[in-house]
Amino acid sequence: MPPLRVKGFEIHVGYLDVPAQQALVAAVRGVARAAPFFTPETRRGQKMSVRMTSAGSFGWISDRKGYRYAPRHPDGTAWPQLPAEVRAIWQDLAPGAPDPDSCLVNWYGEGARMGLHQDRDEADFRWPVVSVSLGDQALFRMGGTDRRDATESIWLSSGDVVVMGGDARLAHHGIDRIRFGSSTLLDRGGRINLTLRVSQ
Ligand code: MD6
Ligand code: FE
C-alpha cells in the first residue's frame, strides 16, 4: 500500500481560506510573544534548522536530555493557552478524540528541513496528530512504521491540513525542503507548521 493511501492518513487540501490562515498567523504571533521561538538541540548537541515554540498545557522540547513534553518553555514560563481557532480545527477533524493539550509551532526559514521521524512521545496512539501548514510550500515525505519502508512525497501548501491517525499514526515522515518565498502569507517568507496532539 503506498504510504499516502494508508488508512488514517488524510490530507485536507485548502481546508483553511486566506482569512482563516491570517487569523492563525495572528494567533501564532500571540503565542510567540508569550513563549519566544527557540532553536532546539538534539541529544547529540546538533542545532535543528527549525525554530519551535508551543501552546497548551504541554510543549514539546528537545535538548541534550532528550525529547519530551514539558509544562514550561525552556525560559521557565508556562506555555500560553492553546488558541481557540486551533482547537476548532481539531474538533472538526478529530471528532471523538479528547481535546488537544499541546500545539507545537515549527517555523521554517530558508533552507530549514525536518528529518524523517515518528511522533511517538505521546501517551496514547489512539489519538491522531493534526498538522496545519501556513506560508511557503513544503515537500512532505511519508513512509511506514519501519524507517526502511518505501516513502512517498507530496507538496503541502498554506491552508492544507494533514491528519495522521489509525494505521498512519506511527508512520515516519519529515519535511525535505520548503519553496522559500512561494507564499505571501508571512511578511518575511518561510513556513509555519502547527501540530496538535493529545500528549498525556
Ligand atoms: C511539518 N510535520 O509539517 C512537520 N507530525 O512541518 C510533522 O512532523 C507531522 O505533519 C505528525 C503528524 C503530521 C505532521
Ligand atoms: Fe511529526
Average pLDDT, the chain: 97
- For residue 144 the three cell numbers come to 511506514
Give residue-wise pLDDT tens across range 17-39: 999 999 999 999 999 999 999 99
Query: Is residue 44's pLDDT more than 90?
Result: no
Burial (0-12, 13-18, 19+ Cβ within 10 Å), 103: buried
Domain 4-36+48-197 is found in CATH 3.10.450.350: no
pTM strictly above 0.95: yes
186-198: average pLDDT: 98
Cβ count within 10 A of residue 58: 24
Burial 60-96 (b: 16+ CB within 10 A, else e): bbbeeeeeebeeebbeeeebbebbeebbebbeebbee
- Interacting residues of 145 by C-beta distance below 8 A, sequence separation 6+: 118, 170, 171, 172
In the prediction, which pLDDT does 61 show? 95
Domain ranges in the chain?
A: 4-36+48-197
Surrounding ion ligand 2 within 5 Å at CB are 119
Query: Is residue 154's pLDDT more than 90?
Result: yes
CA-based diameter of the chain, in Å?
45
In the prediction, which pLDDT does 42 show? 86
Instruction: Report residues whose beta carbon is within 6 angstroms of any ligand 1 atom.
Output: 106, 114, 119, 129, 131, 140, 162, 164, 173, 175, 193, 195
Query: Is residue 63's pLDDT more than 90?
Result: no
